[in-house]
Amino acid sequence: MNILDSLRPEPGLRVLVTAGASGIGAVVARAFSEAGAHVHVCDIDRAALDRLSTEIPGITSSMADAAVESEVDLVFDDVRGTLGGLDVLVNNAGIAGPTAAIESIDAVMWERTVAVNLNSQFLFARRAIPLLKASKAHPCVIAMSSVAGRLGYAYRTPYASTKWAVVGLMKSLAIELGPHGVRVNAILPGTVEGDRMNAVMAARAAASGLSADVVREQYIQKMSLRRMVRAEDVAAMALFLCAPAARNVTGQAVSVDANVEYL
């Protein structure tokens, strides 16, 4: 295999993407499908799953709340039925959580953010690892963290706390699973263009008393490249991390963020 070929994932990979029906997850799922992978996604949003299935008929899906153990178990029943095994887990499920000063954060919202952003990573990894250990296709786990997993993030403490924890989970699993040939890495997206980021900026604007345009410019000025990233940039990194060229890349937290300098 020449170097250029090694930069692409090998065709035929069996891939599971959590929260894969919209946003970054859908772009990642589409990228793997276009690269010749067999892709299964799960998502809590039935309408989004239906749209994705219409757009890409080859992708199979399950409706599930990634933070509920019994529903995760059912996803893996579907994965065994549709894929017959697993080579790649993209642990992508996550929510923004509340934007507020710590003394104003509701305990229920804190717990929900932890459940979706962190507990789901555990629930899916626990079920996926036996399948990945049995894989002969250079198995990988990609944990979706955030630039908030390497920087402090005022007024977003539940989100930042979980994203730091995802990096710790990834690094621990990389050590645990390395002897079994399973690589584990995290991607840390920065400010990604799209509806979700627009909602985050609107919430921050409301919390700070600034206009949405001012908040958007503040975000951009914190990036060395002075631009937001696209979901496609994140998907490209996911593909690379599963390609033969990355066979010795594990235990790494890889930022795709135009170098956010501070939050």
Annotated catalytic sites, by residue? 145, 159, 163
Compute the half-sphere exposure of residue 157: CA atoms within 13 Å on the CB side of its CA. 12
End-to-end CA distance of the chain: 42
Task: Tell how far CA 77 is from the center of its chain.
Answer: 21
Task: Report which residue type is found at 71.
Answer: E
